[in-house]
Amino acid sequence: MLTPIEWWGGLLFVLGFACWRAMLQPDGAADDAGPDDSFPWLVHLTFLAPGVVLAGYFYPLQAPALQYAYATTLALAVALLLWHAGMEVRDWRRAGPEAEPGDGMATFLGFAMLYSPLLAACILGCIKAWPLLPPWL
């Protein structure tokens, strides 16, 4: 049975994913478009990997195989989050001269609110994975 934090955390990820899908779908994309047309599979992983990290944070990982799987999922989540945030910043800078004067701050705040749950899950995962590192690091 899920604890309240896991349930609300999962709901937060699902709502964030739905908001991302609704707000950032390309203008010309139809609802019946194929998955490769408007929504790359890496975006799905960008939301799924931190969700798995957040779920694993609340469970004891005593077996070494589980610890390595958790660390691998955490590394994937961090890499995808950095990649996706970098793509958003790149697109944000490209639209610079055509954008309205106040659009930059609104866009930044919107993306900060959208990606903050993913970042929080990755930070919690790093805190949990820190003891898994070799002592010589």
DSSP annotation of 103: H
Predicted confidence at residue 89, as pLDDT, reads 76
Q: Look up the pTM and report it.
A: 0.71
Predicted confidence at residue 43, as pLDDT, reads 78
The answer to whether 10 touches 55, Cβ cutoff 8 Å, is yes
When pLDDT is cut at 50, 70 and 90, the band that residue 5 belongs to is low
DSSP line for 32-92: T--HHHHS-HHHHHHHHHHHHHHHHHTS---SHHHHHHHHHHHHHHHHHHHHHHHHHHHHH
- C-alpha 120/C-alpha 137 separation (Å) is 24
The tens digit of pLDDT for each residue in 107-131 reads: 777 777 778 888 888 999 999 998 8
Judged by phi (left if over 0) then psi (alpha if -120 to 50, else beta), residue 79 lies in: alpha
The tens digit of pLDDT for each residue in 59-96 reads: 888 898 999 999 999 999 999 989 888 887 777 777 66
**Kind and range of the H or E run holding 113:** helix 103-129
Query: How many other β-carbons are positioned within 10 Å of the β-carbon of residue 53?
Result: 26
105 vs 96, which has greater pLDDT? 105
| pLDDT for 30 beyond 50 | no
